[in-house]
Amino acid sequence: MILYRPIKTNLITQLFGENKIPLYKESGMLGHNGIDFACSYKEPIYWNCFDYEGEVLSHYVDSAGGIGIDVIVEDPKVYKLRFWHLVKDGYMPKIGTILSTGDLIGYADNTGRSTGNHLHFGIKPQILDKNGNYKNELARNGYTGGIDPLPFFKNTYIMDCLDNISEQLNYIQKAVNLMKEVLKKFLKGRSIN
């Protein structure tokens, strides 16, 4: 699975495992369990994967008022991608929605135990229990099942990727149209016996 930056702002303010502060210890963690992107208030956040669609698993409000969305991806390994600190009462796709590349997920904010507007992005490998429910495969790894997202990332904004693809398709369409015109002119001058 290759992931692109889900938000335009390109400033990571906290990496996975950083800040071994009491806040994390109180939550039973060794350190930060995702990566944080600084951003503007209500900056749009988009589904950031070309390879796979994602299914919205849940919307969640944590004990500190942090608002987020969890999305399941099967790669064929199953991962839960977490987008956190979203706008309260803002847009979120409905549970069960299938997300395609570039679909809107929500808007960034400063909810919960946050010190400023940012997007917290995390990845948690999943397994299915005997009842068919997703469970964190690494629940006791000291990061509540989270793993470092950076090895999955290409540092390119997902919407810039889509714009580049659209531009390339326009060039291809122009080339096809030009070839059609040339072929018409060529065939017009020939007689068919």
pLDDT tens for each residue of 36-92: 999 999 999 999 988 899 999 999 888 778 789 999 999 889 999 999 999 888 789
pLDDT of 153 above 80: yes
Position 86: which residue type? L
Residue 57 confidence (pLDDT): 95
pLDDT of 117 above 80: yes
Q: Measure the CA–CA gap between 69 and 85, rounded to whole angstroms.
A: 9
The pLDDT > 90 percentage for the chain reads: 44
Structure pTM? 0.79
Domain that holds residue 50: 3-157
* CATH number of the structural domain spanning residue 111: 2.70.70.10
Residue 164 lies in a domain: no
Residue 81 lies in a domain: yes
List all residues 6 or more positions away from 62 whose beta carbon is below 8 Å from its beta carbon.
68, 112
Residue 66 lies in a domain: yes
Contact status, residue 159 vs residue 46, Cβ threshold 8 Å: yes
CB atoms within 10 A of CB 93: 19
Residue 49 lies in a domain: yes
Domain count, the chain: 1
Residue 108 confidence (pLDDT): 92
